Amino acid sequence: MYLKIIRRSLAKMHDSYLIYILSCSFAIGIFSILISLTNNKIMKHDVSMWRTSLMPIVFSLSLVFAVSAFIYMAYVGGFFIKQQRHEFLTFQKLGMSKITITIIGFLQTLVIQFLAWVLGIIEALIFQKFFGMLLLYLMHVRINFTAYLRVNSLITLLQIAGYAIVAFSLINAVRTYRIVRNNKPKQRKVNFWLRIPAGTLGIVLFVSALAVNISMFASFEDYGFNGYTDRIVIQIIYILFGFFFGTYLIYFGFLPVLLTILQKIKRLSYSGLNMFSFKYLKGRLKRNTSVLWFVTELSAMALMLLTVCYFGYQLIYDNYHSEYPFALTANSDTVDDVRDTIKNSKTKVKKEYHSKIKTTLVSTLDPSGHIYVQRPASFMSYSEYMRLPDKIRASNPYINPKQFMRIGFGNDETFGFSDHKVEWNVKGAKKITTRKNGSSFPYGGGMFAGSLMIVPDKYYKNLPTKVTDTFYGWYFKHGDKLSKEQVKQLDKHRYAYIVNVEAKSSLEDSTLTIKKYNQARMGENDYIQSGFVRQESAKRHLNQIVGFFIFMITIFSIALLIALGSVLTLRILLRDDHEWRQLRTLKKIGVSNREIRSIVLSENALTFVIPIVFAIMQAYALILLADNGARPLRNEFIMIVVSYVILYGIIGIITYLISWRSVKRRIN
Amino acid sequence: MQIIVKNIAKDYGKRLNAVHAIKDISLEVKKGEFLGIMGPSGAGKSTLLNMISTNERPDHGQVIIDDIDMTQLHDRELARYRRNKMGFIYQSFELLDSLNVKENIILPLALNHANKKLIESRVKHLNYLLNIEKLSKRNVDDLSLGQRQLVSAARALINNPEILFADEPTGSLDSKSATILLNYMQVINQRENATILMATHDAFTASYCSRVVFIKDGTIFSEIVNSGEREDFFEQIINMQRTIGGGSYFNVSENN
Ligand SMILES: Nc1ncnc2c1ncn2[C@@H]1O[C@H](COP(=O)(O)OP(=O)(O)OP(=O)(O)O)[C@@H](O)[C@H]1O
Ligand SMILES: [Mg+2]
């Protein structure tokens, strides 16, 4: 008997069940893949970021993913129970006990969930090889991805599956019970007059948040960004608040009121189907307010995250290019060995260059701006700097022979602080104050113990220091062709020597000495001078990390998109009996299929277009904030929005087709 | 002939437990005729009306109205034809509960993009005639069955249909409202030469018709033509009902 009822309802609503099962199994599939990646040998040992392992990231991402997937599945699971409200109530009227009906709800969900998990795990088994290969391909790692779901991850997965199936079924049982307990739907009739002030407030909040945002952006452009002052923090809080609640109030108040007004204008509403469709859409809108809001805010968040992630990826890429504007470098100790190695390989040298540098002690304010620290720093004369290949100087600001320019680490320059004031007290020489800041090290950041200062020739000549060196750099055609063996040989010269700082209270008393490199006896005041820097190895790491980010971003955005899309889809497909009856009645009094289709279409458009428009507006405004002038995020944003809109549009169109198909089936 | 029905048949359900709602019915209706369709419950009256009114397509046969084969028309032309020329009073009313009474009534005119003045004057006229002015702003859900029936009649009549399909139009009405509605139907039938097809159980209602066909188990059983004398016609109908059998009120009372 139960089975029969369940089978019938499965057959009746196969469209929505199918969507549910597919989207759940998709979530489960991705989750399984993430779990299998966490346990994968290659991911554990062979692939690492510059310093840390990628494992914690994968792990925390799968945790985030699991939590969101759980919420999503629990939420979406409720649709089926809601959809069967009427039937459950009829069962009750026919004398079935509440417990029996609750058990039916429970068993139904159990079946569906079971199917979803089976499908999801199968999906994972099929696709994990593919995803693993994709990941490694994106990371430019040339190892074969040995894909298999290890026994212990499979067991974890099955355990999770078991718990999840029971949990979701219980949740739905509770939902079923609540339907049969108080069999009148809670008719929360919101007074129309409440919607008018609410809608007005919503518009005011949203528009004012937008205005504050734009004015903030404008002031950044005029005066520059001076850190997060209290005022700015308050403004940002206001903006977030305004967008968040403004959007809800607009959905709750403004849009229904707008439709009501349209409906009151007889010239509009007395023409064609408008009279019906305005009211129908209003009813749908009122019932879906929270879902639309939820989707809007999540989409806005997703858009911002994606843009920032993409921006971060670009940043890494740019940093890499400014840190490695060469193929191979060496210092005076290692130049002969390096040159021999190059000669013995098939590498074609395009250009070789060198420059003299001096190293001495400087004291500068540490980043907190309160304590002076003494560090070694390198100096290069203006004329040596100008002799360097143009390519190296290209991303640094222009200087004249009388100016100083600091070339430093850190991302502050990239964020547009290029006229950040730098003050250096130099041992035995004049204090340097400059606002010129570059980021492109002529021989790569790795070759310098600290920052590099480009100084006028005269200053360089008079700089008293015992520590001098000459750096050499090469460009190659098509990268270097060093063999593994040669790289191993070269690695012996990785560390040329150590610069030891003995700091005294006065800079002039402090000393700087050169020592032989000895790993065992490295002290806190020892700075390593690299013997050579090779671009190829950095390139590998870069490719790995970039590939990894692309992979994660893609998976996450696709998952999010599908989740949000399916929520909307289910929402559209979920029609009450009385809504069905209305559509059928329309057909009976002479409304053509085409006109009914146009109602379905505008319903779809309303559900999909409104959230995406509001999400883009919010995301754009906040992106403006993150983008304080120096590097416009706009292009990245546009690219991401366009792809988002396209994917969203595809989901919207599919939903429309499914929705129309099911309507057509029922009205004819 | 305005309506020609040729050998139509309609089955419901799948092969094993199929219901032959209409088996083989042919029928001709002249323009301006007031045709009654009678028969016991489940005889296929509503199904026949639905098929003639092109609401459902027959499995076999043709329905030709004004020399157009309705079974061949596309959905869009059909919809246009239906709302320009036809009016429907359904047995289950088929009102839209999201709209109020007035909006329900004017919907057919609005669908035709009629101008506002015409809409207002028509709705006023019908409200007055059927005595439902007071309901105008009410919600359909709150109406009594009889009130709903009047509203659905008003909606069917608002665009002066050439052909009116009425399925049990007086089933839920008190005798006064029923008489008013029937009189009005007679008026449009006689003055505006509208064709009316009406299904009913009720001999009194049927006595307004110019001809009544009796159907039973999906086929035409017999047919009576109104000679002009209302009383005689009424008697004839009751006799025929008795012959057919089936749960008519008059049948039961006469047997007692
Ligand atoms: N949509 C449907 N699906 C299945 N069977 C149907 C459907 N509509 C009608 N029937 C069946 O077709 C037969 C004729 O039904 P119909 O509604 O035409 O009878 P009727 O003469 O109008 O009866 P009543 O006097 O009760 O209105 C009945 O046996 C009915 O059960
Ligand atoms: Mg009937």
- Between A520 and A198, the more confident residue is A198
Domain residue ranges in chain A: 1-187, 189-274, 288-325+538-668, 349-476+495-530
When pLDDT is averaged across residues A220-237 and rounded to a whole number, the result is 71
When pLDDT is averaged across residues A262-291 and rounded to a whole number, the result is 84
Range ranked top by mean pLDDT from A182-191, A194-203, A486-495, A566-575: A194-203
Residue B250's pLDDT band (boundaries 50, 70, 90)? very low
What pLDDT was estimated at residue A182?
Answer: 72
Whether A564 and A299 have beta carbons less than 8 Å apart is answered as: yes
What pLDDT was estimated at residue B177?
Answer: 87
**Sequence letter at residue B238:** I
Contacts of B79 in chain A (CB under 8 A): 590-595
Residues paired with residue A390 on neighbouring β-strands, in sequence order = none
- Considering CB atoms only, which of B78, B83, B98 is closest to A280? B98
The two tokens of residue A654 are 């599919």
What pLDDT was estimated at residue A7?
Answer: 72
What percent of chain B has pLDDT above 90? Answer: 38
Q: Is the CB of B12 within 6 Å of ligand 1?
A: yes
A276–chain B nearest CA distance, Å = 7
- CB neighbour class for A265 (10 Å; exposed up to 12, middle 13-18, buried from 19): exposed
When pLDDT is averaged across residues A396-401 and rounded to a whole number, the result is 86
When pLDDT is averaged across residues B83-87 and rounded to a whole number, the result is 88
Q: How many CB pairs under 8 A join A and B?
A: 71
CA terminus-to-terminus distance, chain A: 31
**Interval A450-470: pLDDT, tens:** 788 899 999 999 888 878 888
Q: Is the pLDDT of residue A66 over 90?
A: no
ipTM: 0.85
Give the C-alpha distances (Å, rounded to integers) separating B112 from A279, A364, A615, B80, B107: 19, 83, 38, 9, 9
Q: Is the pLDDT of residue A164 over 50?
A: yes
**Sequence letter at residue A83:** Q
What pLDDT was estimated at residue B12?
Answer: 87
Give the C-alpha distances (Å, rounded to integers) separating A552 from A61, A144, A150, A306, A586: 8, 20, 22, 11, 48
Concatenating the DSSP letter of every residue in chain B gives --EEEEEEEEEES-STT-EEEEEEEEEEE-TT-EEEEE-STTSSHHHHHHHHTTSS--SEEEEEETTEEGGGS-HHHHHHHHHHHEEEE-TT----TTSBHHHHHHHHHHHTT--HHHHHHHHHHHHHHHT-GGGTTSBGGGS-HHHHHHHHHHHHHTT--SEEEEESTTTT--HHHHHHHHHHHHHHHHHS--EEEEE-S-HHHHTTSSEEEEEETTEEEEEEE--S-HHHHHHHHHHHHHHH-SS-HHHHHHH-
Rounded (5°) CA angle A412-A418-A422: 85
Q: Which atom of ligand 1 is nearest to the CA of B215?
A: 21
Q: Is the pLDDT of residue A56 over 70?
A: no
Whether B43 and B246 have beta carbons less than 8 Å apart is answered as: yes
When pLDDT is averaged across residues A231-254 and rounded to a whole number, the result is 88
Q: Is the pLDDT of residue B255 over 60?
A: no
Closest CA to A23 of A59, A76, A61, A68: A76
What pLDDT was estimated at residue B247?
Answer: 45
- CATH classification of B3-244 is 3.40.50.300, yes or no? yes
Q: Is the pLDDT of residue A415 over 80?
A: no
Q: What's the CA gap between B241 and A531, in Å, rounded?
A: 114
The two tokens of residue B212 are 């009544």
The two tokens of residue A400 are 């004249």
Rounded (5°) CA angle B117-B120-B123: 145
When pLDDT is averaged across residues A470-481 and rounded to a whole number, the result is 78
**Residue B80: closest CA among chain A residues belongs to which residue?**
A590
What pLDDT was estimated at residue B64?
Answer: 93
The CA R_g of chain B, rounded to the nearest whole Å, is 18
Average pLDDT along chain A = 79
The Å distance, Cα B167 to ligand 1 centre, comes to 12
Q: Is the pLDDT of residue A62 over 50?
A: yes
Q: Of A259, A269, A270, which to mutate for an interface test with B (greatest number of B Cβ within 10 Å)? A: A270
- B106 vs A: CB within 8 A: yes
Whether residue B106 and residue A274 make contact (CB cut-off 8 A), yes or no, is no
Whether residue A589 and residue B99 make contact (CB cut-off 8 A), yes or no, is no
**Interval A88-122: pLDDT, tens:** 888 888 777 888 888 888 888 888 888 888 888 88
What pLDDT was estimated at residue B25?
Answer: 92
Contacts of A187 in chain B (CB under 8 A): none
Give the C-alpha distances (Å, rounded to integers) separating B5 from B41, B62, B255: 22, 6, 36
Residue A54's pLDDT band (boundaries 50, 70, 90)? low
For residue B181, the tally of other CB atoms under 10 A from its CB is 23
CA terminus-to-terminus distance, chain B: 43
Whether residue B97 and residue A283 make contact (CB cut-off 8 A), yes or no, is no
A5–chain B nearest CA distance, Å = 20
pTM, full prediction:
0.70
What percent of chain A has pLDDT above 90? Answer: 6
**Interval A348-375: pLDDT, tens:** 778 888 889 898 888 887 666 677 888 8
What pLDDT was estimated at residue B198?
Answer: 94
Print burial letters for B113-146: b (CB count within 10 Å at least 16), e (below 16): ebeeeebeebbeebbebbebeebeeeebeebeee
Whether A373 and A524 have beta carbons less than 8 Å apart is answered as: no
What pLDDT was estimated at residue A116?
Answer: 84
**Interval A576-603: pLDDT, tens:** 667 888 888 888 888 888 889 998 998 8
The Å distance, Cα A652 to ligand 1 centre, comes to 39
Residue A446's pLDDT band (boundaries 50, 70, 90)? confident
What pLDDT was estimated at residue A187?
Answer: 58
When pLDDT is averaged across residues A145-156 and rounded to a whole number, the result is 68
The pick from B10, B19, B57, B248 for probing ligand 1's pocket by mutation, whose C-beta has the most ligand atoms within 8 angstroms, reads B19
Q: What's the CA gap between B66 and B163, in Å, rounded?
A: 11
The DSSP secondary-structure symbol of A428 reads T
Q: What's the CA gap between B97 and B247, in Å, rounded?
A: 32
Contacts of B88 in chain A (CB under 8 A): 588-590
